[in-house]
Structure 1
Amino acid sequence: MVNVQGINHITIRVSNIESSKTFYRNILGAKIVHKGNTDIYLDVGGVWLCLIEMVNAKPIDKNQIGVDHVAFTVSEEHFPKAVQLLREQKVEITRGPIQRGGGNTVSFIDPDRNVIEFFTGSLQERMKNWK
């Protein structure tokens, strides 16, 4: 068994690096760490996020096997502001905002229809509420 210490980074394939960079900076507050020709490395609340531009790539069908979504923790007090920002920026919300699994949650999509979630709860709270 490997002693995993945590998530190192998340890589997301995107169709346009510039529009994705703008989205992740404006919505998630991402800070640019490095920008290459077809990739960009971002820091999102201490999470290393890499966007790789895939020209002519086709979106993944939501019924295919693979990663369903990426969820970021936001504080309970900041959650209403996060939802307001999504609405002001006309980001498509796919679920919520609702209370679910021990916290408030809202799911939305990035420019390439990758699903992102803001969640206020913890794993312990979710397990208390999961049936």
Structure 2
Amino acid sequence: MFSPHPTPHTPHPTNKLFQQTLTKMTISPSVTTKKLKIGQLRKVHHIAFNVKDMDASRHFYGEILGLEELVGEKIPSSLKELVTQGKVANFITPDGTVIDLFWEPDLNPPDDNPEIAFTRANHLAFDIAPEGFDFALEVLQSQGITIASGPVTRPTGRGVYFYDPDGFIVEIRCDPAS
């Protein structure tokens, strides 16, 4: 099963699920259906990268790029155990975007040919107001988007995971309702 927060050795999503998603996607600009309005997705909440060498990546994002590493109470409660185990590290940019690093020691190296597409990105997460989360889920379902995982509820809020047309994992998440 797909895991938006992989542990080492968690397989990536299968092509079968992605193909099912593409088959179900019949998005047409001329069809009037539910959709999110411009501005409902408020910002990029976090970007998650798979990394082969956690120490080198922590050094790169923290020491070289100067991003603040989240420690102690700043670590999201849903990730504290994985951070303690050394499987996840979290950094934050000055505008509040979180960079999640997920340790995947068995990653294949990129091809020597720079023209061959390659990504270590795990998923892209958009933030939405808590009162808009259920509507966003309805929009995805009405557009025939297959839900890969969720909706899930964590202490840090709710989230739903799905694929874009190229198979990249996207999340819509919200803070807990207040």
TM-score by length of 1: 0.46
TM-score by length of 2: 0.34
Larger RCO (alpha carbons 8 Å, 6+ apart)? 2
Structure with greater proportional strand content: 1
